[in-house]
Structure formats: C-alpha cells, structure tokens
Amino acid sequence: MRFLVSIAIVLTCASCGAKRRASGSDKEKTFSVWFRTDASHFTQRVAVPVDSVWRFVPATFQFMRFPGAPSVYNDEYVYLTPSLKIEGRLYQGEANSLYINCGHTVGGVPIADTYRVTFALLMKLTPQSDRDTEVDIILDGTAQDMAERSESVHCTGTGRLEATIYRRLETFLASHND
C-alpha cells in the first residue's frame, strides 16, 4: 500500500540561491511523490518547539544537497524531496548499500550497489508538547536492473542517511539556540 504526498516546490541552487520557476512563469513547480505505508521510519525526539525546528528543515536538506520543499498542505510540517535517481554512487567512495537497502541479487551482491536506484526522502515534524518535537524521516525507493529490465524491487533506508540528516538538523538547532 502506498500514499501520495504532493508538494509545491521552488528549487533553489544551493550555491547561488536562485529560484527556478516552471516555464519561466511566476508559478511554483509542483511534484508528487509516492511513499509506501510500510516504509521504515527513523524517528527521534528533540526538545525544541516544532516551529523552531521547522525553520531549519530546508537548510538541512540543502546542506545534504537534496532538493526539496514543504507539503502543499500548510497545516502540516512535512518536507520532502522529489524522486531522485542515483547515477553511480550516492556518495563517492561509499557503497549505496550503506544508505539504501534493496536486498541482494541471486549472487549475493547488494542490489543498491548494482541496480539503478530511485528514492525520495520525507521529514515530518509532530509537536509532542509546547517544547518537544518528534522528527520522523522516511527513505523509500525502488531499484531496477537496467541490463535485464527486470521488475523493480522496493528499497528502504538503512538508517544511516536518515541519522545523518537528523544530526545535521540537530547541529543547526544547536548553533541557533533561541
């Protein structure tokens, strides 16, 4: 089972701050991303009010070099990326399977290291009290063997990338202590 999350996105160049508009118009570009309801979650709690955490979510994704935007539903604290394709390695010198789990080939090789992987990230903030916020991060994706054009397989996060994103968010919060 999957659920759809639609968001309005204004893509920015992390190094120049430029905004890209759809077809040169003033309209924001939107995209939709599907997440499986059974995708694994990385959940942590931070002793900071939700609005204060929310201020640093876009910067966290930009620092990680992931494009993203908030949900079109203004009453939600949901931020996500469009579907992203890994060309080669997610991080140079590191196996994709350190971050993304798609299972193994018949030969025992991690699928994330040999197949084409497409994934998206979602971060949802949920206020737990006036001073506490739950941070939930989901990585969901698919991988496909491009040589065989086989059926795609589901992928989830290993927790490593999600933990890195969370630690970056914590660093931003600590450096801008209200």
Classify residue 110: in a domain, yes or no.
Answer: yes
Cα dihedral 54, 56, 80, 133 in deg (nearest 10): -40
59-72 pLDDT tens trace: 999 999 999 999 98
pLDDT tens digit sequence for 42-95: 999 999 999 999 999 999 999 999 999 999 888 899 999 999 999 889 999 999
In a domain, 30, yes or no: no
How many structural domains comprise the chain?
1
- The C-alpha R_g of the chain, in whole angstroms, comes to 17
Q: For residue 34, tell me if it sits in a domain.
A: no
What pLDDT does residue 19 have?
A: 28
pLDDT at 85: 96
Q: Which CATH number belongs to the domain containing residue 70 in this structure?
A: 3.30.530.50
- Give the pLDDT band of residue 23 (cuts 50, 70, 90): very low
Instruction: Share the mean pLDDT of the chain.
Output: 84
- At 127, the pLDDT band (50, 70, 90 cuts) reads very high
Q: Does the residue 64 lie in any domain?
A: yes
Confidence at residue 28, expressed as pLDDT on a 0 to 100 scale: 64
Residue 135 lies in a domain: yes
At residue 143, the pLDDT reads 94
pTM of the model: 0.80
Tell me which residue range forms the domain holding 75: 40-175
Is the separation of the CB atoms in 91 and 161 below 8 Å? no
Nearest-angstrom CA–CA distance, 120 and 71: 14
* 33: in domain: no
Q: Does residue 18 lie in a domain region?
A: no
Contact 166, 42 (CB under 8 A): yes
pLDDT score, position 32: 81
Residue 21 lies in a domain: no
pLDDT band per the 50, 70, 90 thresholds, residue 35? confident
Phi/psi zone of residue 82: left (φ > 0), alpha (ψ -120 to 50 degrees), beta? Answer: beta
- pLDDT given at position 21: 34
